[in-house]
Amino acid sequence: MSRQRIQRRAARAVTLSLGVLLAGCAAVPTTISDKMPAIPGFTPKQDKTIVERLRAEDAADKVRPAPATPPTAPPDPLADLDNRRIYSYIVPSPPLSAYLNGLLQRVRQASPRPDLPAHVYALYDNTLVADTTPAGNIFLSLGWLKQVESEDELLAVLAHEYGHIALHHYDFDEIANNQKRLKLLSTGFFVLRQVVNTGNASATLTKGDTDRLKTQENLIQVMDAVIHPGWKRAQELDADKYALDTLMQMKRAPKGLTDFFEHVDAQDTTMKLAAEKAAKETIKTPDPAAAAAAAAAKFSWGDLLDPLLVQLKSATHPSAAERSLSIDTYRDLFYPTASQPVRIRPDMGGLAKVRTENKQLFANYEKAREAEIKLKNGDAKEALKLARLAASGPTAKHAYPLAQQFQAQMTLRQTKDADATFNLITRADDPTWKEYDFYLEHSQADQKAKDGMMEAGFQKFHEAPTLQAARIAYYKKSGNLKLANQLVITCTARTPDYRDGCEKSLK
C-alpha cells in the first residue's frame, strides 16, 4: 500500500472520528441523494462536495495490490480459540462446521488472497454476531444462520470477515498494544530510577512520575477512542469492498451485501432503543451530599474524557446507508458494465437443507437461552424445566444447555444432580470458564478439591494467558497469598501484556 494511500485512509479515519465527536448520534438522512450521513459544520452543498472527494479518492485507489506480509506473526489459532472459548460457547456441531467452512473455502478461492489460513466457528448466540481475530478465526452466531434471507447474504458476511484477515486489519491493534507495552516499560524505568536514586528496593514512584504516567495513559485512551474508531470505520468500508470483489468473482448477487448491512443496522437500532429504555428505568434521584462532594472535588481529566470515550468507542461501524453508498460507488468504478444477477427468489443454496436438518438444534439453543433468562429473573424451577429440554437430542452433550441445567440445579441446591451435570460439562468440547467459575464460587467441596478443579480448568484451556487474573484472584480469595504473589511474578515475566490485570487481581 502506497504512502499516499495510507495518508488518505488515516485522514479519512480522523475525519470520521471527529464527525462522530461533534455530531453525537446525528440522524442518517434517508433520501437517495443524501445517503451519506450529514457532516457537521458543512452546508448540504459542501457536504456533497466532500462525498465527491471521497469518490475521487476511491477512484485513485484503482490499483489494488495484495497487502504486504505484516511485520508481526499472527497469534496461534488454537490458543486464540481457547481465549474465545473462555467466555463464549462454540457450537460443537460437525454438520454446521462442515457447511460454514465449505462456504468459507469458496470465498477464499474466489478472493484476491486465497492463500491465507482461516476457519469459521458457530457461536451459540441468537443475535447477529460476526467477528474475526488476527489468528484467522471467524466467529459466526447461530443468529446469522437463522436470519439471513439467502445464502448470498451468508457468503457476503463471510467474505467481509475474510476481508479483515486478507487486509491485515489487526495491524492497527498491534500499534495500540505497543503503546500499552511502552507504558509498562515507562513504569519499570521510573521504578528502577527511583530505586537507584534512593537505595531503597521498596521505593515508590514520585508524584511527578505518577503524573507523567497518567498523562501517557490519557493519551493512549484518546488514541483508542478518537483515532481508533475512525480507523475501524475505514476498515469496515474496505472489508465491504473486498467482499464485493469476492462476490463478483463468484458471480453471486451483490444484494447479499446490502441485506447484510440492513440486518446489522436493524439490530443496532433495536439494541440502542433497549439500552436507552433500560437507562431511563434505572435512573435514580441523585444524592445531594454526593453531588456537593463531586462539585467540590478537584478537576480531573477523567471527568472530561470518560463521557467522550464511551460515545466514541461505540462508533466503530458505519451506518447501513453509508456502507451502501460506499459499495455503490465502488461498484460503479470497478464494475461499470458488469451484469448484476437478478433473482425472483433468494438463492438459498445449501442453507435451506442446513436449517431443516438442524431445526431441533436451533430450537434447543433457543430453549437454553430462555432458561438463562429465567435464571437471571430468579425463576430457577422453570429454568431447570427448560434446560432439561434444551439438553436433549442433538444437544445432549453441548455445554451451553448443560450449563443452564447445572446453574439451576446449584441454585435449587440439588447438589448430586449438579455434580453429575458438571462432570458432563467438563467432558464436553465446548465449555466456557463461566462453569468453572460458578462451581468454584458455589460448590460445597473442600479446598483441596476446589484447587484441583481450578488447575484442571486452567489446563482444559491450555493455560490461556487471559485466565491468569482469575487464577490469581481465586488463590487470593482462598487465603493462599503466597501462591497468588508467585503467580503475579510469573504472569509479569511470561505474559507482560497481561501484567496490569494480574496485579489488579491482588488488590
Write out pLDDT tens, residues 456-473: 989 888 888 888 889 999
> 488 and 464 share a domain?
yes
Confidence of residue 301 (pLDDT cuts 50, 70, 90): very low
- Which residues, 6+ apart, have CB-to-CB distance to 477 below 8 Å? none
Q: In what order do the strands lie in the sheet with 130-132?
A: 119-123, 137-141, 130-132
Tell me what the pLDDT averaged over the chain comes to: 74
> 408 and 456 share a domain?
no
Yes or no: say if 361 and 395 are a contact pair by the CB < 8 Å rule. yes
Confidence of residue 215 (pLDDT cuts 50, 70, 90): low
- Among 388, 403, 425, give the residue marking a domain's end: 425
| Residue 178 domain-assigned (yes or no) | no
Number of domains in the chain: 3
pLDDT of residue 233: 75
Per cent of the chain over pLDDT 90 is 28
pLDDT of residue 506: 78
Residue 38 cell numbers, joined: 450529514
Report the C-alpha gap between 73 and 388 in whole angstroms: 44
> 415 and 475 share a domain?
no
> 440 and 403 share a domain?
no
Quick one: average pLDDT of 143-169?
A: 91
What CATH number is given to the structural domain containing 372?
1.25.40
Quick one: average pLDDT of 64-72?
A: 46
Confidence of residue 491 (pLDDT cuts 50, 70, 90): confident
| Residue 33 domain-assigned (yes or no) | yes
> 419 and 365 share a domain?
yes
| Residue 230 domain-assigned (yes or no) | no
> 452 and 408 share a domain?
no
Q: Summarize pLDDT for 367-394 with one digit per residue, the tens.
A: 999 999 999 999 999 999 999 999 999 9
39-43, 422-426, 438-442: the lowest-pLDDT one: 39-43
Domain range holding 52?
3-60
| Residue 259 domain-assigned (yes or no) | no
Q: Which of 258-267, 348-357, 371-380, 487-496 has the highest mean pLDDT?
A: 371-380
> 380 and 446 share a domain?
no
| Residue 7 domain-assigned (yes or no) | yes
> 419 and 436 share a domain?
no
| Residue 202 domain-assigned (yes or no) | no
| Residue 234 domain-assigned (yes or no) | no
> 405 and 439 share a domain?
no
- Provide the whole-model pTM: 0.71
- Among 41, 60, 79, give the residue marking a domain's end: 60
pLDDT of residue 358: 93
- Among 13, 42, 60, give the residue marking a domain's end: 60
The H or E element that residue 300 is part of is: none
| Residue 176 domain-assigned (yes or no) | no
> 439 and 506 share a domain?
yes
> 444 and 485 share a domain?
yes
Q: At what angle do helices 447-460 and 433-442 cross, to 10 degrees?
A: 170
Yes or no: say if 251 and 317 are a contact pair by the CB < 8 Å rule. no
Contacts 24+ apart (CB under 8 A), 343-347: 343/253, 346/149, 346/150, 346/151, 346/152, 346/153, 347/150, 347/151, 347/152, 347/252, 347/253
